[in-house]
Amino acid sequence: MSEKEPTPMPPANEQPGEPNAPVAHPDHDDHAHDHHGHHHAREEAPYIPEDPGNAALADALRISFKVLKLVMIVVVIVFIASGVYQVPSNEVAVVLRFGRVTGTGANRIKEPGLHWSFPRPIDERIMIPRGKQQLDVDDFWYFMTKEERAGLKQSFAGPTLQFLQDGYSLTSTRGLEGKTTSSEKGVIADYSIMHSQWRIEYAVSEPPVFIEKLWDGTEAGWSDVERLIRDVLAAAVIKASGHRDVWATITREEEAFRWEVESLVKDRMIDLNVGLTIDQVIFTGKKIIPPRQVQAEYERFTTAKTNAEKMKTSAGAKASEIRNTAESEAKVMVATAEAYRKSIVEAARSDAQRLEDMLAKVRLAAEQRVPGEGAQVEAQRRQVYNDLLAVTVDELYQEMLRDVLAAADEVFVPASGETGKTEWRLQLSRDATLGKKKQDEQKK
């Protein structure tokens, strides 16, 4: 029995059950076959049933692509919609694109309302408080526990100042004459301390500058903003109180002290140029007080100082009153004296003129009675002039005597007795109006 020969395998491009299928030769094409005079008709490939697994895979891929497209569209819509944001009425917004402020001019600030920007991480929106903000500063106030701040426990003042816990500012009173204790000869410095509470009212005036230079948009960053404001205020308070007297500042110069601190804070913020504007700096609470440890002594000192000021003011007012009275009386006396001087001068001038007129009349009368010339005539004329002058003087004396007697209330005329002696009798404490009354009665 002979061995069977192995069955030959069909070519790779032949399908089972298809003998005589043409074999494709890569090195020969249809033109080559025509060249050799051989022509083979191309037969169509037979139908092959589709594999159900491949069909299911193709359907799944088509559905997946459609779902993916839908998801991508939804993602794009959500991405665009997430860029819409609302700015509240009490805030403004600044948009940062890769860390830099977007927009130019007024567009850099987003006012209240709806806006759009690219979502993170492209754009970052920072909301900034709008309008006036307040910050209370107790850095210069004494230390208080939570119970003391809530009013549940009375504040306790220890025997000494707690320098590590209590806040205070140092004052320095200069200009006191005395022993030299500083570099200024003849001047001593009286150093004291005082407590004060403050409130700063400020606003973000330039949001873009504020974001670029100061705030990073986080809560921790806002604490840094308040820390800067506190430091600026602390520097101003220390500088303003360093040249002030504690008693004068507390009692009558509070407003001047506050105004100086406010001016220093505003000027410093302008120099820093961080987009913040200081509206005002005011006191809060009890304003300014001395250390609690010396409160009783300070009150006694204040009382004594107040009394001294009152006494000084009263003395000054009294001195001013006396000075004004003396000046007024002096003016009256000067005016009276000046008027009297003028009246005397006028009277003397009038009397002098009258005497000159009378002498001229006497001289004229003497010339009329003794006319002519010559030594003998001149001697006679002089004699007549002297006689007339004596008569004129006697008339003047009589006139003066009548004026004096007319002005006197009573007139006493001494008369010589038989013995030739004159007796004078004085009546003391006599009513000066008796003489006038008697004359009035006689007239009636």
- With a cut of 70, say whether residue 387 has pLDDT above it: yes
Mean pLDDT of 97-101: 89
Mean pLDDT of 73-83: 85
> Mutual orientation of helices 219-241 and 254-272 as an angle, nearest 10°?
130
Mind listing the pLDDT tens digit for each residue in 16-36? Answer: 444 444 444 444 444 444 444
Q: Compute the distance between CA of residue 254 and CA of residue 285 in angstroms, rounded to an integer.
A: 13
Confidence of residue 316 (pLDDT cuts 50, 70, 90): very high
Query: Comparing 146-155, 180-189, 428-437, which segment has the lowest mean pLDDT?
Result: 180-189
Write down the residue that tokens 């410095």 correspond to: 189
Q: Compute the distance between CA of residue 18 and CA of residue 416 in angstroms, rounded to an integer.
A: 207
Query: Comparing 63-77, 163-177, 213-227, 297-311, which segment has the lowest mean pLDDT?
Result: 163-177
DSSP string, 229-282: HHHHHHHHHHHHHTTS-HHHHHHT-HHHHHHHHHHHHHHHHHHHTSSEEEEEEE
Q: Are 250 and 290 in contact (CB under 8 A)?
A: yes
pTM recorded for the entire structure = 0.55
Q: Compute the distance between CA of residue 113 and CA of residue 208 in angstroms, rounded to an integer.
A: 18
Q: Are 285 and 197 in contact (CB under 8 A)?
A: yes
Mind listing the pLDDT tens digit for each residue in 166-186? Answer: 888 988 876 444 343 444 444
Report how far apart, in Å, the C-alpha atoms of 144 and of each of 40, 153, 199, 264, 413 are.
113, 10, 18, 28, 102
Domains, the chain, ordered by start: 55-129 (no CATH), 133-150+158-290 (3.30.479.30)
